[in-house]
């Protein structure tokens, strides 16, 4: 019974589909021009959402790389001697003493490490591009940051306790200093100190422009060394007005502890720094949730903006269908005289309007894919065409064609058969 109903439905719509295609192909150029609004509208939705999805994927991956169970305290360094003097009247800056106080008073933290970061004035071998940044950290930074060792090893607790002159290179720093050569076992000179390269870290993600509270650093162009060696052996050209350390990394036992632990850390530092806002507490889990909310808003706005093109395309469909009624008035009258009902006429015109938007939507999706890949190739941006962007763009285009085809279809159905037959 159900199969018979489906066959009857197809038998009812198939002649209308054939007639619709024939009418559209009768005026190929006019049909194509009418479709352009739908094509460009769908392509705009697909390509704009692909740009947003690509950028957001990079940001999300970078935040996850920071560690959703981590907390990061970042020093807000003074940029001049005068600014430092003004701050030091109330705050000592970020120090190893702060780390000890946090370690003693904050529960639920499984790993701690301070960080001393600076860019050396001299590096040998001579870098092929920007000089690598030095990261003085404890050995457990490898676990906190989730570093993957590409070759060699990370420095040990014993080497850190002795302030041993050893280092681990980021993949970018290895290429920057040694090119295609193997780096493990060789030596580099940072300012006046020779360091033995014991390992190389695999490639990490870096976000251009950084994130709120997170400094802009090429995470691949780094030299990792024990924080004791960075403080005792390596000369920082700006150490005269910088904090003792400029970062503290903490790994928590659970993501649920992120926000309450961050509040406790802020309270402790506000007390030890006497209210001076010379630090920030970065909560990657909070950043991740915020970026997801931002992405949803961005997608909604982008679809709304791009849908203006689809709206223009829908007006074009209505315009061409109204013009088609005038051209086919006599045909409508003949069909009504031969027994066609009003709903048959409505169905015919709606099918034609939907065909225009359907074919325009398919062409627009293909065009959107092309624009996305072209942007990726020319601008070097990451673009991702997601299934949801294709579905949304296509559904909106077909809906627009259907909605804007209703009025012309109703107008055609209401024509007086007798007057329609007489129309010249």
Section 366-370 average pLDDT: 89
Tokens 């995470």 appear where? 219
Cβ atoms within 10 A of the Cβ of 421, count?
Answer: 16
Residue 375 clears pLDDT 80, i.e. is over it: yes
Write down the residue that tokens 């950043």 correspond to: 287
**Residue recorded with tokens 């993600």:** 205
pLDDT digits (tens, 9 = 90+) for 208-236: 555 555 555 778 899 999 999 998 888 66
For 343-369, what is the mean pLDDT? 85
Report how far residue 50's alpha carbon sits from residue 371's, in angstroms, rounded to the nearest whole number.
10
pLDDT in tens, 56-69: 776 666 666 666 67
Average confidence score pLDDT of the chain: 81
Closest CA to 313 of 348, 362, 358, 357: 357
When pLDDT is averaged across residues 241-251 and rounded to a whole number, the result is 81
Provide the residue ranges of all domains of the chain, joining segments of one domain with +. Answer: 16-62+290-422, 77-277
Which tokens belong to 142?
Answer: 């490898």
| Contacts of 138 by beta carbon, 8 Å cutoff, 6+ apart | 112, 113, 114, 160, 226, 227
C-alpha distances in angstroms, 135 versus 149, 195, 227? 16, 13, 8
DSSP SS3 for 116: strand
Predicted confidence (pLDDT) per residue in 88-108, tens digit: 778 888 888 988 998 888 888
Provide the pLDDT for residue 226. Answer: 94
Residue 144 φ then ψ, to 5°: -65, -45
Residue 123 has pLDDT above 80, yes or no: yes
Q: What is the pLDDT of residues 389-399, one digit of tens each?
A: 788 788 888 88
Q: Smallest Cα–Cα separation from 378: which of 51, 36, 60, 41?
A: 51
pLDDT score, position 161: 93
Tell me how far apart the alpha carbons of residues 247 and 423 are, in angstroms, rounded to a whole number: 84
pLDDT at 241: 59
CA gap 225, 115 in Å, rounded? 10
Least confident range from 54-58, 264-268, 330-334: namely 54-58
* pLDDT for 13 beyond 80: no
Of the ranges 74-83, 131-140, 149-158, 368-377, which one carries the lowest mean pLDDT score? 74-83
Confidence at 2, pLDDT banded by 50, 70, 90 = very low
Mean pLDDT of 120-141: 90
Residue 404: pLDDT over 80:
yes
The whole-number pLDDT of residue 5 equals: 42
- For residue 250, report the phi and psi dihedrals to the nearest 5 degrees: -130, 135
Please report the pLDDT score of residue 91 as a whole number. 81
Q: How far apart are the first and last CA of the chain?
A: 46
Coil, helix or strand for 206? coil
What is the rounded average pLDDT of the residues 130-140?
A: 92
Task: Decide if 187 contacts 196 (C-beta within 8 A).
Answer: yes
The answer to whether residue 177 scores a pLDDT higher than 90 is yes
Look at 58-67, 120-129, 169-178, 264-273 and tell me which has the smallest mean pLDDT.
58-67
Check if the beta carbon of residue 93 is closer than 8 Å to that of residue 238.
no
**Residue 201 CA: distances (Å) to CA of 184, 315, 400:** 11, 57, 52
Distance from the Cα of residue 237 to its chain's centroid: 36
Question: Is the pLDDT score of 244 beyond 70?
Answer: yes
User: Of residues 283 and 214, which shows the higher confidence score?
Assistant: 283
Judge whether residue 255 has pLDDT over 60: yes
> Angle of helix 284-327 relative to helix 258-272, nearest 10 degrees?
120
Task: List for the chain the helix, strand, coil content (%; round to 5).
Answer: 60, 15, 25
Q: pLDDT band at 326, cuts 50/70/90?
A: confident
What residues are paired with 112 via a beta bridge? 250
Cα–Cα distance for residue pair 193/404, rounded to 1 Å? 74
Phi and psi at residue 124, to the nearest 5°: -125, 135
pTM: 0.64
pLDDT reported for residue 8: 47
pLDDT in tens, 344-356: 788 888 888 888 8
pLDDT of residue 272: 86
């Amino acid at each position: 019974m159900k199969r018979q109903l489906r066959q009857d439905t197809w038998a009812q719509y198939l002649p209308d589909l054939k007639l619709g295609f024939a009418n559209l192909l009768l005026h190929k150029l006019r049909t194509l021009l009418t479709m352009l609004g739908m094509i460009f509208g769908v392509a705009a939705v697909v390509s704009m959402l692909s740009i947003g999805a690509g950028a957001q994927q990079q940001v999300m991956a970078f935040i996850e790389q920071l560690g959703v169970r981590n907390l990061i305290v970042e020093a807000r360094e003074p940029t001049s001697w005068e600014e430092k003097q003004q701050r030091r009247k109330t705050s000592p800056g970020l120090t190893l003493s702060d780390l000890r106080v946090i370690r003693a008073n904050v529960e639920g933290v499984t790993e701690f490490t301070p960080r001393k970061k600076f860019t050396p004035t001299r590096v040998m071998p001579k870098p092929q591009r920007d000089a690598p940044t030095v990261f003085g950290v404890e050995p457990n930074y490898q676990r906190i940051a989730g570093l993957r060792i590409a070759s060699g090893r990370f420095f040990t607790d014993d080497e850190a306790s002795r302030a041993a002159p050893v280092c681990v290179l980021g993949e970018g720093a290895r290429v920057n200093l040694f090119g295609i050569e193997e780096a493990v076992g060789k030596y580099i000179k940072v300012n006046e100190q020779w360091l033995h390269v014991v390992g190389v870290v695999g490639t990490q993600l870096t976000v251009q422009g950084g994130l709120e509270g997170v400094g802009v650093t090429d995470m691949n162009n780094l030299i990792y060394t024990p924080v004791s060696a960075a403080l005792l052996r390596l000369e920082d050209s700006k150490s005269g007005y910088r904090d003792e350390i400029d970062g503290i990394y903490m790994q928590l036992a659970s993501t649920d502890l992120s926000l309450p632990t961050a509040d406790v850390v802020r309270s402790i530092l506000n007390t030890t720094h006497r209210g001076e806002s010379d630090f920030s507490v970065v909560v990657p889990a909070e950043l991740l949730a915020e970026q997801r909310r931002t992405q949803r808003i961005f997608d909604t706005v982008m679809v709304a903006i791009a849908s203006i093109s689809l709206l223009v395309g829908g007006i074009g469909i209505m315009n061409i269908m109204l013009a088609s009624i005038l051209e086919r008035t006599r045909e409508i009258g003949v069909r009504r005289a031969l027994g066609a009902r009003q709903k048959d006429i409505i169905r015919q015109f709606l099918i034609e309007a939907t065909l225009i938007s359907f074919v325009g939507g398919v062409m627009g999706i293909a065009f959107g894919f092309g624009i996305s890949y072209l942007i990726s190739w020319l601008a070097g941006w990451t673009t991702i065409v997601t299934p949801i962007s294709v579905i949304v763009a296509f559904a909106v285009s077909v809906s627009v064609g259907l909605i804007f085809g209703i009025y012309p279809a109703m107008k055609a159905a209401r024509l007086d058969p007798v007057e329609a037959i007489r129309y010249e």
